[in-house]
Amino acid sequence: MTLTIDIEPLSPVLGASIRGIDLRKPVDVATQKMLYQAFIDHSVLCFPGQELAAADQLRFANFFGRGDGGDRQKSRDANNRRTGQRGMMYVSNIRENGKLIGVLPDGEMMFHSDGAHRESPYRATTLYAITIPSQGGNTLFANLYAAYEALPQKTKDKIENLVTRIVYDYEAVDRADTIAADPVLPRAQHRLVKTHPDSGRKTLYLSRLMTQDIVDLPADEGEELLLELFDHCEKPEFVYAHEWKVDDLLIWDNRCTNHARTDFPAEEQRKLRRYTVSEPDAPVQT
């Protein structure tokens, strides 16, 4: 029996919707390769109508790299910080006994790329919709290949060799917070223009939430350039808005897209299950 897998673009900007595959069942290596190629071609894949247990989602994550399937809850150090390997997380505003069950709980989030503050950022993120509010809470995806390609040649030449500092401060709600991020927060340096290792295409690598500054440029000159580039990347022509349905499974490529979230009613519940995908040769992460 041959499966007929149907791949349809999600939007003119990026993304594809994939039907005709049941991710609860084993997937042969040829199909896994085909899915990886679709991921490279479209940058965001949506598998609607999947009914997945956590183990199914982790198996899927492993088709795309090293799924972060550790048990991060179990081990804690003397300061009660998690020391376990990265694993499943919920993205949710739900509280049980007054405690949040997940991360990234409330409201709007600025554009960013997951793990950009690490030497080796997550290659991809998978998110599976369990409970979705009646309105809002959309995830926006920006195509950073297209944003790069649309820049004037003069700007491309100017930014070609620049390096940025990227910081993780998910509590930041505006640029001032990111610029003034606490020096103890984790950060890394990355090139502003990268070549995607699988597609060979050039892409911008920066975001309003996480890029703190440009190394080797005076602060105001760097910030002016960054603001211009953030505005450029966030133009509607480069952005697809995903309106979640329960049982959607998404995977996105953090190497050539940014994502953001729109606001949603605080009194409604939102819950998604998340596994990141690391580069296979990255050190094991907590």
Please report, as ranges, the residues that interact with ligand OGA according to CB under 6 A.
91, 104, 109, 114, 125, 127, 139, 259, 261, 272, 274
The least distance separating Mn ion from the CB of residue 220, rounded to whole angstroms, comes to 29
Rank residues 60 and 193 by Cβ distance to ligand OGA and give the closer one.
60
Closest residue to Mn ion, based on beta-carbon distance = 114
Stretch of 65-73, 113-121, 179-187, 225-233 lying at the interface with Mn ion (CB under 5 A): 113-121
Instruction: Tell me which of Mn ion, ligand OGA, none is bound by residue 211, counting a contact when its beta carbon lies within the kind-specific cut-off of 5 to 8 angstroms.
Output: none
The least distance separating ligand OGA from the CB of residue 137, rounded to whole angstroms, comes to 6
Q: Select the residue interacting with Mn ion from 114, 234, 248, 253 (CB under 5 A).
A: 114
Find all residues with CB under 8 Å of 30, minimum gap 6, and list them: none
Rank residues 114 and 234 by Cβ distance to Mn ion and give the closer one.
114
* Main-chain dihedrals φ then ψ at residue 119, nearest 5 degrees: -55, -45
Bridge partners of 17, per DSSP, are 8, 46
The least distance separating ligand OGA from the CB of residue 64, rounded to whole angstroms, comes to 15
Strand spans (E) along the chain: 6-9, 16-19, 44-47, 66-67, 89-92, 95-96, 99-100, 109-112, 124-131, 139-143, 163-167, 187-191, 193-195, 202-204, 211-215, 239-242, 249-253, 257-261, 271-278
The least distance separating ligand OGA from the CB of residue 131, rounded to whole angstroms, comes to 12
The least distance separating ligand OGA from the CB of residue 32, rounded to whole angstroms, comes to 23
Bridge partners of 70, per DSSP, are 87
How many Å apart are CA 282 and CA 284, to the nearest integer?
6
Rank residues 145 and 275 by Cβ distance to ligand OGA and give the closer one.
275
The least distance separating ligand OGA from the CB of residue 93, rounded to whole angstroms, comes to 10
Instruction: Tell me which of Mn ion, ligand OGA, none is bound by residue 16, counting a contact when its beta carbon lies within the kind-specific cut-off of 5 to 8 angstroms.
Output: none
Instruction: Tell me which of Mn ion, ligand OGA, none is bound by residue 93, counting a contact when its beta carbon lies within the kind-specific cut-off of 5 to 8 angstroms.
Output: none
**Radius of gyration over every alpha carbon of the chain, rounded to an integer in angstroms:** 19
Pairing outcome for strands 16-19 and 44-47: parallel
Encode 127-150: b = buried (16+ Cβ within 10 Å), e = exposed.
Answer: bbbbebbeebbbbbbbbbbbbbee
Which amino acid, 142? A
Burial of 220: CB neighbours in 10 Å, binned 0-12, 13-18, 19+: exposed
Rank residues 190 and 259 by Cβ distance to ligand OGA and give the closer one.
259
How many Å apart are CA 262 and CA 264, to the nearest integer?
7
Rank residues 144 and 159 by Cβ distance to Mn ion and give the closer one.
144
How many Å apart are CA 96 and CA 187, to the nearest integer?
32
Instruction: Tell me which of Mn ion, ligand OGA, none is bound by residue 214, counting a contact when its beta carbon lies within the kind-specific cut-off of 5 to 8 angstroms.
Output: none
Rank residues 70 and 105 by Cβ distance to ligand OGA and give the closer one.
105
Instruction: Tell me which of ligand OGA, Mn ion, none is bound by residue 127, counting a contact when its beta carbon lies within the kind-specific cut-off of 5 to 8 angstroms.
Output: ligand OGA
The least distance separating ligand OGA from the CB of residue 103, rounded to whole angstroms, comes to 8
Bridge partners of 8, per DSSP, are 17
Restricting to residues 153-192, name those near Mn ion by CB under 5 A.
none
Residues at the interface with Mn ion (CB under 5 A) = 114
